[in-house]
């Protein structure tokens, strides 16, 4: 029976890649209309490959792809945005890897998510320009919302009342915050200061341009980071069972902590 030789064109960001056979690579990419895909780039590790430079990690590229039985085959690749600054130092490489890995871990193959595509491109552009920690916190909350894991931080998860500007109680397993009446003294709760909750809410509901001018006390930013990372880990542990990734998130935290103590 003849193979149908159908092909399609798509934009893509390269999230992950691994070597395959002698000269090939399997790429995990994220696309605007087809969601996450695994594609094969044949012969890409040969020095003569003309596609190689267009299929680096984090690159925004335009692909021509031929359908095939196992992995669809990349037949043409042209760079749209190379984000070259992302590869200039370890801090940026680490942040770009973190963003790509979060998108990878929070998506299933073939689930279209145009808003997440927009978010990913925005993230790579901002990180390429040098945005760092506050941007990553905003990105984490936006990713959680777009993938169905938005924490409830406006109303009490117990009684439904609007949360007041006092010390409330966070329960990561429950996915949100409880008022003092419902949360105080209950198992799995931790106090969350009103300033920290205020920042989380601002990050969750505001576009990046309204957040970027925000100047925060280092302790507040650190508390926000701690909560978001532990919440991401709670979700990943429960839903995604990805121990390797958890280790890398922890390493990312350490890099972030080093960046804070050595501002460049």
Applying CB under 5 A, the residues found at the interface with Zn ion are 156, 158-159, 179, 182
Cα 180 to Cα 164: distance, rounded to the nearest angstrom: 9
Minimum distance from residue 146 beta carbon to Zn ion (Å): 27
Cα distances from 68 to residues 3, 8, 57, 239, in angstroms, run 8, 12, 23, 30
Residues 6+ apart with CB under 8 A from 166: 180, 194
Minimum distance from residue 166 beta carbon to Zn ion (Å): 12
Minimum distance from residue 228 beta carbon to Zn ion (Å): 22
Cα distances from 26 to residues 8, 10, 61, 221, in angstroms, run 18, 17, 16, 38
**Between 90 and 166, whose beta carbon lies closer to Zn ion?**
166
**Between 110 and 160, whose beta carbon lies closer to Zn ion?**
160
**Between 98 and 169, whose beta carbon lies closer to Zn ion?**
169
Side-by-side strand order, sheet with 168-171? 176-178, 168-171, 190-192
Minimum distance from residue 156 beta carbon to Zn ion (Å): 3
Cα 122 to Cα 107: distance, rounded to the nearest angstrom: 18
**Between 156 and 203, whose beta carbon lies closer to Zn ion?**
156
């Amino acid at each position: 029976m003849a193979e149908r030789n159908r092909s399609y064109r798509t934009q893509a960001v390269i999230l992950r890649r691994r070597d395959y056979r002698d000269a090939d690579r399997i790429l995990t990419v994220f696309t605007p209309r087809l969601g996450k895909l695994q594609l094969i780039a044949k012969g890409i590790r040969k020095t003569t490959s003309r596609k190689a430079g267009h299929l680096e990690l984090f690159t925004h590229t335009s692909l021509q792809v031929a359908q095939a039985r196992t992995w669809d085959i990349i037949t043409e690749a042209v760079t749209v945005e190379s984000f070259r600054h992302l590869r200039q130092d370890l801090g940026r490489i680490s942040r770009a890897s973190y963003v790509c890995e979060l998108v990878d871990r929070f998506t299933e193959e073939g689930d279209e998510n145009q808003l997440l595509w927009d978010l990913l491109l925005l993230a790579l552009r901002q990180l390429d320009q040098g945005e760092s920690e506050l941007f990553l916190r905003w990105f984490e909350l936006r990713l959680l919302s777009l993938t169905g894991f938005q924490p409830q931080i406006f109303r009490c998860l117990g009684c439904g009342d609007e949360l007041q500007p006092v010390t409330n109680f966070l329960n990561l397993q429950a996915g949100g915050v409880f008022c003092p009446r419902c949360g105080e003294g209950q198992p799995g709760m931790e106090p969350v200061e009103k300033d920290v909750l205020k920042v989380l809410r601002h990050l969750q509901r505001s576009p990046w341009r309204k957040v970027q001018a925000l100047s925060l006390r280092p302790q507040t930013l650190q508390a926000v980071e701690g909560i978001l990372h532990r919440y991401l880990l709670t979700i990943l542990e429960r839903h995604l069972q990805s121990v390797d990734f958890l280790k890398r998130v922890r390493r990312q935290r350490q890099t972030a902590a080093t960046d804070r103590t050595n501002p460049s």
